[in-house]
Structure 1
Amino acid sequence: MDTLSLLFYTFAFVLVYAGFRVITAKSPVTAVLHLVLAFASASCVWMLLQAEFLAISLVLVYVGAVMVLFLFVVMMLDINSAVVREGFWKHFPAAGLIGVLIALEMSFVLTRGFDLPIAKPMAPEVAAVPNAKALGIELFTNYLFPVQVAAVILLVGIIAAIALTLRQRKDSHFQKPAEQVRVKKADRLRVHKVAAVVEAPAAEADANNQAGGQA
């Protein structure tokens, strides 16, 4: 067994173990952390298969953003796992049957995929280009218009989300950047001249003297 095969089986074992712990862990935080481990192991498997772009995307998007958000949400909500697990054994037979059917379908698809004829080797100039670079060339040459359309759709979604959440409420505090840019020193700083020594009024001085004499 060579080094690549050893690494593949190692990461595959860690991936299966982490996926099993995701559905069997009692703590939601533990389940989320094992899901992060599963994503990292899958990324390593994709890296061994020379799919660098997919591996980097999985780490940046899911591990770096989505799973961190899930972890914060789970820790902030303080979910009661006992309530969530109610009725687990009641629905276990149906879930097990569905799982077996999915496993059979996946094995059927995989075994049929292994019977495909061997593809012709790529040209040396194509094989020398990294996957991420080849994908960038395809996106910005042959698929430039769909990429631009997708970018516009995402921009519209971002603007719509901001517009839906931006509501004028009396109890909300917000800043106006235009006013902050035009602000001057006189608008924020006021200098008041105060006398160095202030003499006490005569009535207060007499009252203080009388109080001192009575004491």
Structure 2
Amino acid sequence: MNVAALTFYILSGVLLTSAVMVVTSRNTVYAVLFLILAFFNASGLFVLAHAEFLAMILVVVYVGAVAVLFLFVVMMLNVELGSLRESMRRYSLIGGLVGGILGIELMGVVIAWNTSPEALDLTSAPLVNYNGMSNTQSLGNLLYTHYALIFQGAGLILLIAMIGAIVLTLRTREGVKKQKLGDQIGRQAKESVRLIDIPSGSGI
């Protein structure tokens, strides 16, 4: 067993253990910390697969932004463990059914991959190198040339989803003072400042 295979098994084992601890941990803060550990090990697997760009994106986006945001939200909300246990008991049947379906699908994919005659050729094939470009350059070349319209369409869908979330969460309440930027920008100095000449000794 070489160093790459040993590293793969170590990262995979820690990744699977962290994923199980995310689901089974009773403390939500610990669950988020195990999720961060799982992301780090997944990025290590991407590095072993010569996908450095995906590993960097996984660390920067998911660990640096999403997971840390989850951690702060969980710590600030102070979620009660009793309500979580009650919710787990209520939806345990549906969760087990969905988990069983996903497990069967994953087993089907693994069995089909191991029994496929093309699997050995795909695993032993060398990495495609586009005119000496690196992994990041090759990915950018594919995204912005061959899949440019699909990439722009995905960005448009995300923009629509963001606008929809803002519209759905917008609440208009009466009696709340709001800023009127047009009125504030259009104000003149004579409308904002008033000079009063107070006689000496009269006080205010």
Tell me the TM-score range normalised by the shorter chain.
0.7 to 0.9
Q: Match of 1:163?
A: 167
Q: Matched residue of 1:19: which SS? A: helix
Q: Deviations over 1:165-215 (max 9, x none)?
A: 44443233432333333333333333222223128xxxxxxxxxxxxxxxx
Q: Is the 8 A contact 2:25 2:31 kept in 1?
A: yes
Residue segments in structure 2 that go unaligned for 5+ positions in a row? none
Q: Deviations over 1:11-46 (max 9, x none)?
A: 223212312322332211111111111111111211
Q: Match of 1:213?
A: none
Q: Match of 1:208?
A: none
In 1, distance between residues paired with 2:96 and 2:18? 20
**Is residue 146 of structure 2 the alignment partner of residue 142 of structure 1?**
yes
Q: Match of 2:57?
A: 57
After TM superposition, the score normalised by the length of structure 1 is 0.69
In 2, distance between residues paired with 1:144 and 1:136? 10
Residue segments in structure 1 that go unaligned for 5+ positions in a row? 200-215
After TM superposition, the score normalised by the length of structure 2 is 0.72
**Cα pair distance change 1:166/1:189, threshold 3 Å:** farther
* Bigger-Rg structure (1/2): 1
In 2, distance between residues paired with 1:11 and 1:56? 16
Count residues with an aligned counterpart: 195
In 1, distance between residues paired with 2:187 and 2:84? 54
**Cα pair distance change 1:187/1:165, threshold 3 Å:** farther
**Is residue 76 of structure 2 the alignment partner of residue 111 of structure 1?**
no
Q: Is the 8 A contact 2:36 2:63 kept in 1?
A: yes
**Is residue 164 of structure 2 the alignment partner of residue 190 of structure 1?**
no
What amino acid does structure 2 have at the position aligned with 1:145? L
After superposition, the CA RMSD in angstroms is 3.5
Q: What are the equivalent positions in structure 2 for 1:25-44 lying under 5 Å apart? A: 25-44=25-44
In 2, distance between residues paired with 1:182 and 1:114? 73
Report % sequence identity: 35
In 2, distance between residues paired with 1:122 and 1:107? 22
**Is residue 81 of structure 2 the alignment partner of residue 66 of structure 1?**
no
In 1, distance between residues paired with 2:112 and 2:177? 57
